[in-house]
Structure 1
Amino acid sequence: MADLPEWTIKGELILNCNCTVFCPCVVSLGAHPPTEGYCQAWSGIRIDKGQYGDTDLSGLNVGLVLDIPGMMGRGNWKAAAYIDERSSDEAYDALVKIFSGAAKGTTGLFSMLVSEFMGAERAPVEFTTEGKARRLMVGKTIQGEIVPVEGNDPDQDIVVSNTGYWMGPDITIATATKGKVRAYGRVWDFSGRSAEICQIDWKGPGR
């Protein structure tokens, strides 16, 4: 790890998967199977502030596609990354290292769990917020929108707090109003299914 640059990412992550109710992996830490027995998901990351060594990552977005055949902790994931087309060559390379797990740290588990990194490519990755809705648009590849599930007090989100989940300790329970994926031979629609929102503070190569 002494040869790897220090890196940090602070921002927000959204995710929509095929689970019919809130993702059991958040509280079971991957020890409980997804509600359908397997996990298919798309995710978006908005980087508010980030750096990889001397390379600035602030203001960039990333989209992910994940295909997991069973319990998350058993591995054999397939994953693909879509890197903001506004990224410099240095930022692109840094984000590929981070999201493939090669940069170690918070996302280092990807290098252990992902058996097939299907690819990374530049794309128009748009992560926008309107009211409480979050939208991720990656051309025609990912078209998603999620909203928090409304609680007893509509002004307060329903949050699972103080978890050991790798993404972050506090996960807002959400649902997808749109969740379409067309990538690597996969055609998915997870509209109306489980979603989550997480404020992220990741770093590497140590944790």
Structure 2
Amino acid sequence: MIDWYVEGESFSNCNCAYGCPCQFEDLPTHGHCRGFEALRIDRGHFGDTRLDGLKVALLYAWPGPVFEGGGELQAVIDARAEPDQRAALEQVLQGGETEEAATHWWVYRTMSDTLHPTLYLPIEIDLDIAARRAHVTIPGVIDGTGRPIKPPHSDGEHRVRIQIPGGIEFETAEIGSASTRSGPDSAIALDLSDSYGQFNQLRHSGRGVVHG
């Protein structure tokens, strides 16, 4: 396999409740799954191709739980990426050059029958993991916002984290509330309101999550 690695900060929003059942090997809140993730790559490479500073996003949907398959994916890659960087990032996001079941991207691709054409567009990511705040915009594709969970009984902010030592996506993630709307250029429709928001460091290689 080609040696690759990406490290950066990620924000995700799906249609499940705040305690996303997928993280606990349970069935999705509403019986199906759809959402997106966005990643700012602070450091990365694919073979000799540098990926530092680029941004990517992945939109997804499944008619039932992810493990039942039948899903669809659409990748969005930073318009600033050069041709070799575009090809590398498309491989990574679509589970290429990765050991079996080593990353969530590999699982997503394996469980998807439909792969929509990759888009190359400007991606804006404003993200503060510790504060559980984010704003992601991709013109014509998505506008997503994350914020802390507001308890129904007070005006404060609730902080909760999910820790998965042996996970295939992250070790620790801050959880918040998020809302996302898709645009006319998105092949996957999203209309999410105050659902599961995930804020985390992401460190992936072709062998899986890189710890520490």
Give the shorter-chain TM-score range.
0.7 to 0.9
> How many matched pairs?
198
Q: Decide whether aligned partners of structure 1 residues 115 and 143 sit closer, same or farther in structure 2, where only a CA change above 3 A counts.
A: same
**Equivalent of residue 162 in structure 2, options 160, 163, 169:** 160
| Aligned-partner residue type, residue 180 of structure 2 | G
Superposition pairs for residues 1-207 of structure 1, below 5 Å?
4-28=1-25, 32-105=26-99, 106=103, 107-129=105-127, 132-149=132-149, 157-176=159-178, 178-182=179-183, 183-184=185-186, 186-204=188-206, 206-207=207-208
Report the TM-score when normalising by structure 2.
0.84
After alignment, is 189-198 or 103-112 more displaced?
103-112
| SS of equivalent to 2:90 | helix
Output the CA distance in 1 between the equivalents of 2:10 and 2:22: 16
Do the aligned partners of 1:181 and 1:188 also contact (CA within 8 Å) in 2? yes
| SS of equivalent to 2:39 | strand
Report the TM-score when normalising by structure 1.
0.86
Structure 1 unaligned blocks of 5 or more: none
Aligned CA RMSD, in angstroms, stands at 2.2
- Percent same amino acid at aligned positions? 25
| Aligned-partner residue type, residue 160 of structure 1 | I
Do the aligned partners of 2:18 and 2:176 also contact (CA within 8 Å) in 1? no
Output the CA distance in 2 between the equivalents of 1:155 and 1:188: 26
Structure 2 unaligned blocks of 5 or more: none
Do the aligned partners of 1:150 and 1:157 also contact (CA within 8 Å) in 2? no
Runs of 4+ in structure 1 over 6 Å off: none
